[in-house]
């Protein structure tokens, strides 16, 4: 009886050791898979961050180009306003000259009579 019990105990011990070994192998495999997934996640995050950085860089370049265009347009508008003022001033001078010429013409007519 004792021998049978000892034999069963040995078998159960071997079986337990095999189950423990199997569990350790599964745990090791799961740790390896977790490590692989973490690496993949880090790679994906880096790729995403690189894409964001590149998009931001492109946007900054585009913003700078737009700002330059705005500055050029503001300068152009400013020069056009000056030109308009100059033209208005010339128009007023021309009108004044016409009036002066009419006045001189009338004075000459009056003097000739």
Residue 33 lies in a domain: yes
Query: What percentage of the chain carries pLDDT values higher than 70?
Result: 99
Rounded CA separation 28/19 (Å): 14
Number of domains comprising the chain: 1
Residue 104 lies in a domain: no
Find the domain containing 33 and state its range: 1-82
Q: Element (H or E) spanning 42, and its range?
A: helix 2-112
Residue 93 lies in a domain: no
Residue 3 lies in a domain: yes
User: Which position has the higher pLDDT, 111 or 91?
Assistant: 91
Residue 105 lies in a domain: no
Residue 112 lies in a domain: no
Maximum distance among all alpha carbons in the chain? 163
**Overall size of the chain counted in residues:** 113
User: What is the separation, in whole angstroms, between the first and last Cα of the chain?
Assistant: 163
Residue 96 lies in a domain: no
- Residue 110 CA from chain centroid, whole number: 78
> Could you tell me the two tokens for 63?
């913003």
Q: Predicted confidence band at 3 (pLDDT cuts at 50, 70, 90)?
A: confident
The overall average pLDDT reported for the chain is 96
Residue 89 lies in a domain: no
Per-residue pLDDT tens digits for 54-100: 999 999 999 999 999 999 999 999 999 999 999 999 999 999 999 99
Rounded CA separation 23/19 (Å): 6
């Amino acid at each position: 009886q004792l021998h049978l019990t000892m034999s069963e105990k040995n078998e159960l011990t071997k079986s337990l050791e095999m189950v423990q070994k199997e569990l350790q192998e599964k745990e090791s495999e799961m740790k390896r898979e977790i490590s692989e997934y973490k690496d993949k996640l880090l790679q994906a995050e880096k790729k995403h961050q690189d894409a964001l950085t590149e998009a931001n860089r492109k946007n900054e370049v585009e913003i700078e180009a737009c700002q330059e265009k705005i500055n050029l347009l503001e300068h152009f508008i400013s020069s056009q306003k000056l030109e308009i003022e100059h033209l208005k001033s010339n128009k007023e001078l021309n009108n004044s000259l016409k009036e002066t010429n009419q006045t001189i013409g009338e004075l000459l007519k009056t003097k000739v009579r």
